[in-house]
Structure 1
């Protein structure tokens, strides 16, 4: 029993429509390849799905461009004239915009003003004044930012200088309270003690010994240097 005849109409269900397209696309691609091999024909096939996906086939002996060129020769239809005309119109439009911008730039520089009437000159003057306000505002903003940055640097330098001065004063005050004394080896010998300073919160003691051992017998004994 053969399959029933399928009514040819648009498939409303999008999923079923896509499945049917995929199956029949494979079938028509297969038929196009068979036609190329069996009949030595040059076949070109382009298809776009409802989701705008391109599928194409072209015989191995040619390419799409050659097919289109032969089509134009055989039919006399220029496939590119409309596109070329559109591109030419776009180019002319952009060229006009470029010329207008160049003329406006020159006029802002004080050139090509001869053809302007009073209203055009007044409008140009107002545009320049507005531009000048914007430039000045930006300049003052930059100056203000740099000034604040310099103020912060100066303040940091002053703080660093104050800290260094405070540390220096503390060091000098510590030096003033240190007392240095030269003490003889005999702690009971007053004559042998040479006090270089009086008072002091602490004393540091050093022992002084002659570098020549034979000097001990000549009265050069061990001595101590104390820092008080």
Structure 2
């Protein structure tokens, strides 16, 4: 009787995810050892956890790839390993440079956007201070001349002047 199939997707619970990683990592390393011994195959497995921890296995014939047992290698093999390391280092430096250039570009874009927003804010401040000045200089009934006149002079006659001749 076999197990049921599970859906292959990310495990949301971090504890369950860590337990599953540990079990499956041990299983894959065990399978690598078995295939190396049973089939006399050259096997190398490298696994990185989500925290960046390295887990690896190499069969005895490939241990020189990890930097172990280099004395038994011929100069040709050492040159090949050195070239592979140089290529890896070159690729790593290129990737690092790409990330740096991307960072510089993004930083420049953010600085430009910040300058633009600061300029717009300054323009709005100027517009608002101008509007406030207009409000301060605008009509104020308490400062108006009519408010200083006695009430008798401010009344408009409701009847036309009957003594005027047209």
- What is the TM-score of this pair, normalised by structure 2? 0.48
- What is the TM-score of this pair, normalised by structure 1? 0.37
| Greater relative contact order, per chain length (Cα 8 Å cut-off, separation 6+) | 1
| Structure of greater Rg | 1
Bigger share in strand: 1
Bigger share in helix: 2
